[in-house]
Amino acid sequence: MSPQPYIVCPKCGMVSHNPNDVRERYCGNCHGFHIDLLKPGYWMNETGGELVLAMHRYLKGQPLTLRDISLIGAYIRQWIESPVWEQNPHMDDAGREGLAALRVTAAARFLTNRKAIDAWMAMAEDFGVDPL
């Protein structure tokens, strides 16, 4: 007898042997499809309000507070760390290196001011992704 197929949720780690979950790649615990659970959060959908205001100040070229920089940096990190970027079937070694470079330079110690955020955004655009 062959082993029963199963899936593991990429978000919560729950294992499901349910044939429908396996076929649809669905997590009953998170109530979402795996591909949706892997997607990065988008700043305009943030409900706390602080990030949206920080992003508006950033996009309008207004002065940023240290809190704004911290929020934007955290947003960038969650966005680029999403495993969805690794799902690209056309990504080659150069693409993997570019993704790794974006992830390394998104570290808090690098995104400390507007100039650093601008540089990271330009690097992301060159790579072909746009978190804005």
48, two tokens: 């706390």
Distance of CA 12 to the CA centre of its chain: 16
Listing DSSP states for 9-61 in one string gives -TTT--EE--HHHHHHTEETTTTEEHHHHHSPP-GGG-SSSHHHHHHHHHHTT
Distance CA 54, CA 16 (A): 40
SS3 percent helix, strand, coil of the chain, rounded to 5, is 55, 5, 40
Distance CA 95, CA 123 (A): 13
Instruction: Specify the pLDDT at position 4.
Output: 79
What tens-digit pLDDT sequence spans the chain (132 residues)?
567 788 888 777 889 999 999 888 898 998 888 777 677 888 988 888 899 999 999 999 999 999 999 999 999 999 999 888 887 888 899 999 999 999 999 987 899 999 999 999 999 999 999 999
What are the residue ranges spanned by the domains of the chain? 7-38, 43-127
Instruction: Specify the pLDDT at position 25.
Output: 83
- Which H or E element spans position 7? strand 7-8
Instruction: Specify the pLDDT at position 88.
Output: 81
Instruction: Specify the pLDDT at position 92.
Output: 93
